[in-house]
Amino acid sequence: MRILRKLASVFIICLIVALLSSCNVNSQQQNINKVGMLVEGSINDQSWGSKGYKGLLEIKEQFDVDVYFKEGVTTQQQVNHAIEEFANQGVNLVFGHSSIYGKMFKDIANEYPDVHFVYFNGGYSDDNLTSLNFSSHAMGFFGGMVAGKMTKTNQVGIIAAHEWQPEIEGFFEGVNYQNPNAEVKMEFVNGWDNTERALDLFKSLKEENVDVYYPAGDSFSAPVINRVREAGLYAIGFVTDQSNLGENTVLTSTVQYANRLYVQAAEDFNVGELQGGIFTFDFQDGVVEMGDFSPKVPGEFVADLERHIDNYKEDGLLPNER
């Protein structure tokens, strides 16, 4: 009997140790192995591409994993080659840092069931394909309000990449809400990185007496703002806080924190909770904000604008919808 009792005690102790060890392993287990990113343009554009790279580095630091990136990936063939290379390296979470990757990922997602694909601002999804969308209409609206307030010539200019950008319509509405006497002139580059054309459009708008500019494009926003500064005029920054380009030039910026969504998606994936689907984020989610305000912008106006933003966070209504 004593031997049986001793054997039973040893069995119970071993069982407890095994359970504790199992719990410890599970608590340390993570689903992320390695992470890859595809960029349509460059990670050094001081705008959208830089935001993506920052998010990738934050994932590397937080989860202590290897990360990889490829720039200038714009075709299905390039995507196929990059994903195959990533998969062979053990990457199981891939970010496509552009809306163009939605259909491209959709076409190959089923071939890589162990890889989860994430991209931005699109309508494609699958079990292992997630679209993270910024609701950019409101940020454009509030940026437009600042432009409408600060224009002295009542001529405001938009130099945008594409006509379909939601922030463009929002900006137009914001200018008109704040200053019905202002005229908004729109020009389109028809691409995210044609800096030469963007600068030519700036020159044309300057000749039309435009004194506040919204350069809404990844690669050309900073070069255009530099020209605006040289001309002694005003600009609204795009996607990132561009006040560093000149606090007396950049009145404020319409900021999207793509890096925060990178980390959030990685955290969800790491615990098995990243779902395939289409998800939208705005001011209420802490990933869309206005950047620093120039000292040129009156303090009373800034306070009033921030009150409008707080109201929008509460009920989703812009000032012109109240």
Burial class (CB in 10 A: 0-12, 13-18, 19+), 76: middle
Do 246 and 265 lie in a common domain?
no
Distance CA 19, CA 23 (A): 6
Which amino acid is located at 72 in the chain? G
Query: Closest Cα to residue 59, out of 97, 100, 27?
Result: 97
Structure confidence at residue 46 as a pLDDT band (50, 70, 90):
confident
Do 263 and 248 lie in a common domain?
no
Which is it for the CA torsion 21, 26, 27, 33, positive or negative? Answer: positive
Q: Please check whether residue 190 is in contact with residue 214, taking contact to mean a CB–CB distance below 8 angstroms.
A: no
For 104-124, the pLDDT digits (tens) are: 999 999 999 999 999 999 999
The label of the residue with tokens 């994430």 reads: 118
- DSSP class per residue in 133-154: EE--HHHHHHHHHHHHHH-SSS
The CATH code of the domain that includes 245 is: 3.40.50.2300
Do 129 and 271 lie in a common domain?
yes
> The domain containing residue 194 runs over which residues?
137-255+292-321
Distance CA 304, CA 291 (A): 15
Residue 10 lies in a domain: no
Rg (CA), the chain: 24
Higher pLDDT, 51 or 293: 293
Q: Residue 255: what are its φ and ψ, rounded to 5°?
A: -110, 135
Higher pLDDT, 51 or 244: 244
Residue 11 lies in a domain: no
How many structural domains does the chain have?
A: 2
In this prediction, residues 36-52 reach a mean pLDDT of 88
Residue 239 makes CB contacts below 8 A (sequence gap 6+) with 47, 48, 51, 218, 221, 253, 254, 255, 256
Residue 246 lies in a domain: yes
Residue 15 lies in a domain: no
Q: What is the pLDDT of residue 128?
A: 97
Residue 298 lies in a domain: yes
Structure confidence at residue 202 as a pLDDT band (50, 70, 90):
very high
Do 187 and 266 lie in a common domain?
no
In this prediction, residues 242-255 reach a mean pLDDT of 97
Q: What is the pLDDT of residue 29?
A: 53
Do 301 and 213 lie in a common domain?
yes
Query: Closest Cα to residue 253, out of 223, 289, 220?
Result: 289
In this prediction, residues 44-51 reach a mean pLDDT of 82
34 DSSP β-pair partners: 66
Do 121 and 150 lie in a common domain?
no
Residue 23 lies in a domain: no
Beta-strand pair 250-256/183-188:
unpaired
Do 211 and 69 lie in a common domain?
no
For residue 319, pLDDT over 50 is answered with: yes
Encoded tokens for 199: 């600068």
Distance CA 239, CA 195 (A): 16
The label of the residue with tokens 């679209």 reads: 131
Do 312 and 173 lie in a common domain?
yes
Give the predicted TM-score (pTM) of the model. 0.84
Residue 121 lies in a domain: yes
CA distances (Å), origin 20, targets 6, 26, 29, 168, 212: 21, 10, 14, 57, 64
Distance CA 65, CA 310 (A): 38
Do 220 and 76 lie in a common domain?
no
Do 196 and 296 lie in a common domain?
yes
Please calculate the CA angle 302-161-285 and round it to the nearest 5 degrees: 45
Do 158 and 299 lie in a common domain?
yes
Do 263 and 204 lie in a common domain?
no
For 131-175, the pLDDT digits (tens) are: 999 999 999 999 999 999 999 999 999 999 999 999 999 999 999
Alpha helices in the chain (DSSP H): 2-28, 48-63, 76-88, 101-108, 137-150, 166-178, 195-207, 221-230, 258-270, 299-315
Residue 236 lies in a domain: yes
For 261-281, the pLDDT digits (tens) are: 999 999 999 999 999 999 999
